[in-house]
Structure 1
Amino acid sequence: MKNILWLMMLMLLPTALPAQHADAVTGIWLNEEKDAKIQIFRSGDTYAGKLVWIANAYEADGKTPRKDSKNPDAALRNRGLLNLVILNGFEFDDGEWEDGKIYDPKSGKTYSSKMKLKGNTLEIRGYVGVSLLGRTTVWTRSN
């Protein structure tokens, strides 16, 4: 009888564990270098993220806000970095946010990306082509 009871508990355990909620990724995140904060938010059925704080937000003159100067599109190089959307198109599926894009304003490059939440850390994998050919950065939830 004890064996049957244990077996039933083991079978029900996966349903008792909390499932990852799609909106769990929303909020303010500090990047790995600790020089930027990104606000991740829901945008329709997908998730996006924008720069809400950056260290050295101004050019050397201390007055001119930093621009997206590395952008490959010359028409976009004059836009400011603050509130710039750098994450977009992420769809929640099976505990991960997939099929998104991440823009790196430091290099001006855009990568395919996926994200995985682990407690108060967010693993973001940027890649070209296949995920195997990429790099993972870890962000921490900001207070």
Structure 2
Amino acid sequence: MKTLMLLFFSMIIATGSLLAQNNTADKILGTWLNEEKDGKIEIYKSGNKYFGKLVWGKNMYEPDGSSRTDIKNPDTKLRSRKLQDLVILTNFTYDDEEWEGGKIYDPKSGKTYSCVMKFKGASLQIRGYIGISMLGRTTIWTRG
């Protein structure tokens, strides 16, 4: 009986710990305004991974009102994709106060970078890099 009670309480503690980690990991969810204030990205969760799509942009439309497309993409097959709802953050996982292991795509240049994200106060620090994190650039996003 003591073993059963100990097992039961261990399971409750473990479940509570996992829920607390998920709540911490999910604080990244929502809409973010990029540093230049010309784009809004909605970060969402699919399964246990985090993604982000471009939901608004200052230059998302041509002068005639038609949607701009991903013309800078190095893959010619993808150049016809609309910028509206373009997924630019892919496959991030949460570990130790950081979202890591994902990629960030820059539709302005057509380049994709490895990326790590973490909070700095209420802002989101986004570091894109090639190779190692020290060889990269950091930008700050705010809730939008």
Same fold (TM over 0.5): yes
Using the alignment, how far apart are the partners of 1:131 and 1:56 within structure 2?
Answer: 30
Percent same amino acid among aligned pairs? 61
Provide structure 2 residue ranges, at least 5 long, that are not aligned to the other structure: 1-19
Using the alignment, how far apart are the partners of 1:57 and 1:113 within structure 2?
Answer: 24
| Count of residue pairs the alignment pairs up | 124
State how 1:59-98 maps to structure 2 within 5 Å. 59-60=62-63, 62-98=64-100
Moved over 3 A (4+): none
Give the counterpart of 1:53 among 49, 56, 73. Answer: 56
Letter in 1 for 2:95: D
Provide structure 1 residue ranges, at least 5 long, that are not aligned to the other structure: 1-17
Letter in 2 for 1:130: I
- Match in the other structure for 2:43: 40
Using the alignment, how far apart are the partners of 1:28 and 1:119 within structure 2?
Answer: 16
Give the counterpart of 1:128 among 117, 130, 133. Answer: 130
Using the alignment, how far apart are the partners of 2:127 and 2:136 within structure 1?
Answer: 7
Using the alignment, how far apart are the partners of 1:118 and 1:31 within structure 2?
Answer: 14
Using the alignment, how far apart are the partners of 2:129 and 2:59 within structure 1?
Answer: 27
Q: Which has the higher helix share?
A: 2
User: Cα deviations across residues 71-113 of structure 1 (Å, max 9, x unaligned)?
Assistant: 0000000110000000011110001101110000000000000
RMSD, aligned CA: 1.4
Letter in 1 for 2:124: L
Letter in 2 for 1:59: E
Letter in 1 for 2:82: G
TM-score when scaled to structure 1? 0.83
- Per the TM alignment, residue 50 of structure 1 is displaced from its structure 2 partner at its CA by 0.1
TM-score when scaled to structure 2? 0.82
Letter in 2 for 1:124: I
- Match in the other structure for 1:102: 104
Using the alignment, how far apart are the partners of 1:120 and 1:29 within structure 2?
Answer: 11
Q: Secondary structure at the match of 2:27?
A: helix
- Per the TM alignment, residue 43 of structure 1 is displaced from its structure 2 partner at its CA by 1.3
